[in-house]
Amino acid sequence: MRAPAKKSFWEKITAFFSGGKPAARPVAPVRNNGYEPSRSPRKPESVEVTTPRLYVGNLSFDATESDLSELFNGVGAVQNAEVVTYKHNQRSKGFAFVQMQTVDEAKRAVAELHDKEFLGRKLVVSGAKSSEHHSAN
């Protein structure tokens, strides 16, 4: 006949407080570094095109300013394209601003390029918020 297995300290304490009934060990909480899976990802709001300046979101991190200029030049004349980067390492933040020549060209760019796949991602193209609108938020 085998001797009964020794109970661990944890099992003894649990048995004492549960009236002798064996209880399951508690599972350690899962740490998720602040990620909340129930929260949907933030989607940029659509801003009406009232100036030639456009916001380009969901941009591939490999996209360059010359890539954007080439893409938007297919729609109209591009004055400037600026990929927004982190200051400390110059990596792309995944969005950019493109300045078209006219408001009409900017509207055409939104109509033709919004939801278009570019470098493996669907672009979000809309009017850029003005500095007054941005500072109010």
| Predicted pLDDT of residue 134 | 47
CB 134 within 8 A of CB 93: no
What are the extents of the domains in the chain? 53-129
The answer on pLDDT for 133 being more than 60 is: no
Query: What is the end-to-end Cα distance of the chain in Å, rounded?
Result: 76
Nearest CA to 14 among 23, 5, 26? Answer: 23
What pTM does this model have?
Answer: 0.65
What pLDDT band is residue 15 in, cutting at 50, 70 and 90? confident
pLDDT value of residue 34: 58
The closest alpha carbon to 112, from 55, 52, 63, 72, belongs to 72
Query: What is the sign, positive or negative, of the torsion defined by CA atoms of 66, 72, 78, 80?
Result: negative
Contacts of 131 by beta carbon, 8 Å cutoff, 6+ apart: none
From CA 56, how far away is CA 75, in angstroms rounded? 14
Q: Which CATH number fits domain 53-129: 3.30.379.10, 3.30.70.330, 3.40.720.10, 3.40.50.11060?
A: 3.30.70.330
Cα 90 to Cα 82: distance, rounded to the nearest angstrom: 12
Distance of CA 63 to the CA centre of its chain: 16
pLDDT reading at 6 higher than 50 = yes
The answer to whether residue 22 scores a pLDDT higher than 90 is no
Residues of the chain with pLDDT > 90, as a percent, come to 58
